[in-house]
Amino acid sequence: MAYTASDSRYTGMQYRRCGKSGIQLSALSLGLWQNFGDVDDEAVYRKTLHTAFDCGITHFDLANNYGPSPGSAEINFGKILKEDFAAYRDELIISTKAGYYMWPGPYGEWGSKKNLVASLNQSLKRMQLDYVDIFYHHRPDPNTPLEETMTALDLIVRQGKALYVGISNYKSAEAAKAFSILKELGTPCLIHQPKYSMFERWVEKDGLLNLLEGNGVGCIPFSPFAQGLLKNKYLNGNTEGARANKGISLKEEQITEEVVKKIKALNAIATERNQSLAQMALAWLLKDDRVTSVLIGTSSSAQLLDSVACLKNLEFTSDELKRIEDILN
Ligand code: NDP
């Protein structure tokens, strides 16, 4: 049956301004890195996309290489976009990225103008789109001058193939240079996508969050559950059916005794807050105004609904924050 979006889709979600831009993003955004590839079940991920939009999630994050196989998440998303979301294109912020390995030879990865322009052309074809809303450089390239990479992002915007640009996985010093080049070119950086969770806090130590705030650039942390570690499933070291068992990224040996101890202690605080551990992990990121949106992965629409319910409690008492710090440090 044809999909019609829920009339109440904008009532339960929170929207936050992305840095000093005109764009607001839903407090939660959906990433299609895993669970949307051609190894996955189309009925499941189609339903997940419907549920996300019905909950007011307006931002969907892709990259050239998402799958597996690489490129298949864009193909699958493009198909569903055409079949189910055509009437809603102007309500969506769709992003993609280039920078990681995508095709053989010297132009299939990193940060040359050749790679970025060709990769985005391929992504647009796969998704059957004329433009994306945000195009990211996925990772810094130590061998290409930053000026070339940033000029490529500017060019792509001028060509109308992306409305805004972002960078991902850049440390503060490189990010500061990138922001200044982009500003000079007249295409200010909209957003930065760093890895950030209770278990991965380099953005605080490196000063990235302050840099983003100072430059009016938004922040969209990825892997907020530390790829699923921050959830009740691992409380007893049980990994059945979970990502740790699929061998794609999270490794079973990452679930050490020390990690399980921390997860248990954090879960006790989450329970007092009437939240699941996953919900508290999201709320903990969203308590900071410098965070525009949190980019979540999900393996089902039920799991997504559980994540969205974090919005019911984003406040932390100073005592809760202190106890969380004591566990994490
Ligand atoms: P997450 O930390 O969001 O982990 C997602 C996994 O957590 C799910 O697959 C599921 O695991 C579990 N999970 C999700 N919701 C819940 C819940 N409510 N309760 C319990 N468990 C839950 O991060 P990802 O690593 O998937 O990253 C999210 C997105 O960030 C990606 O899709 C991508 O768009 C982006 N990203 C960007 C990167 C970059 O370099 N810029 C790198 C990595 C990701 P299970 O499958 O075991 O059920």
Minimum CA distance residue for ligand 1 atom 42: 222
Task: Name the phi and psi angles at 164, rounded to 5.
Answer: -135, 165
Measured distance CA(248)–CA(152) in Å, rounded: 31
Sketch the domain layout of the chain as residue ranges.
Answer: 15-328
Ligand 1 atom at shortest distance from the alpha carbon of 228: 7
What spacing in Å lies between the alpha carbon of 23 and ligand 1's midpoint? 24
Ligand 1 atom at shortest distance from the alpha carbon of 168: 41
Decide if 198 contacts 284 (C-beta within 8 A). Answer: yes
What spacing in Å lies between the alpha carbon of 185 and ligand 1's midpoint? 34
| Residue 252 DSSP SS3 | helix
Ligand 1 atom at shortest distance from the alpha carbon of 296: 3
What spacing in Å lies between the alpha carbon of 32 and ligand 1's midpoint? 9
Ligand 1 atom at shortest distance from the alpha carbon of 32: 32
What spacing in Å lies between the alpha carbon of 223 and ligand 1's midpoint? 5
Measured distance CA(48)–CA(40) in Å, rounded: 12
Q: Which residues line ligand 1 (CB under 6 A)?
A: 31-35, 61, 138, 168-169, 193, 222-228, 231, 242-243, 276, 278, 295-299, 303, 306-307
The residues facing 93 across adjacent strands are: 59
Per-residue pLDDT of 226-237, as tens digits, reads 877 887 666 665
Per-residue pLDDT of 54-77, as tens digits, reads 999 999 999 999 999 999 999 999
- Position 219: which residue type? C
What spacing in Å lies between the alpha carbon of 274 and ligand 1's midpoint? 22
pLDDT for position 239? 58
Mutate which of 168, 267, 303 for ligand 1 pocket (most atoms within 8 A of beta carbon): 303
| Residue 137 DSSP SS3 | strand
| Residue 186 DSSP SS3 | coil
The residues facing 294 across adjacent strands are: 28
pTM for this predicted structure? 0.95
Ligand 1 atom at shortest distance from the alpha carbon of 250: 25
What spacing in Å lies between the alpha carbon of 118 and ligand 1's midpoint? 28
- Could you give the C-alpha distances from 27 to 20, 78, 111, 293, in angstroms and in order? 16, 23, 29, 4
Could you please state the CATH topology (level 3) that the domain comprising 15-328 is classified under. Answer: TIM Barrel (3.20.20)
Mutate which of 298, 305, 310 for ligand 1 pocket (most atoms within 8 A of beta carbon): 298
Ligand 1 atom at shortest distance from the alpha carbon of 97: 41
Measured distance CA(305)–CA(145) in Å, rounded: 43
> Order of strands, edge to edge, in the sheet holding 132-137?
218-219, 189-193, 162-168, 132-137, 93-98, 59-61, 28-31, 294-296
Ligand 1 atom at shortest distance from the alpha carbon of 222: 30
What spacing in Å lies between the alpha carbon of 74 and ligand 1's midpoint? 17
Per-residue pLDDT of 275-304, as tens digits, reads 999 999 999 999 999 999 999 999 999 999
Per-residue pLDDT of 137-162, as tens digits, reads 999 999 999 999 999 999 999 999 99
Measured distance CA(77)–CA(250) in Å, rounded: 24
Q: Which of 89-93, 178-182, 223-227 has the lowest mean pLDDT?
A: 223-227
Per-residue pLDDT of 7-53, as tens digits, reads 999 999 999 999 999 999 999 999 999 999 999 999 999 999 999 99
Is the sign of the CA dihedral 115, 295, 31, 34 positive or negative? positive
Minimum CA distance residue for ligand 1 atom 8: 298
Measured distance CA(37)–CA(136) in Å, rounded: 20
Measured distance CA(108)–CA(99) in Å, rounded: 8
CA quadruple 242, 248, 251, 255: dihedral, nearest 10: -30
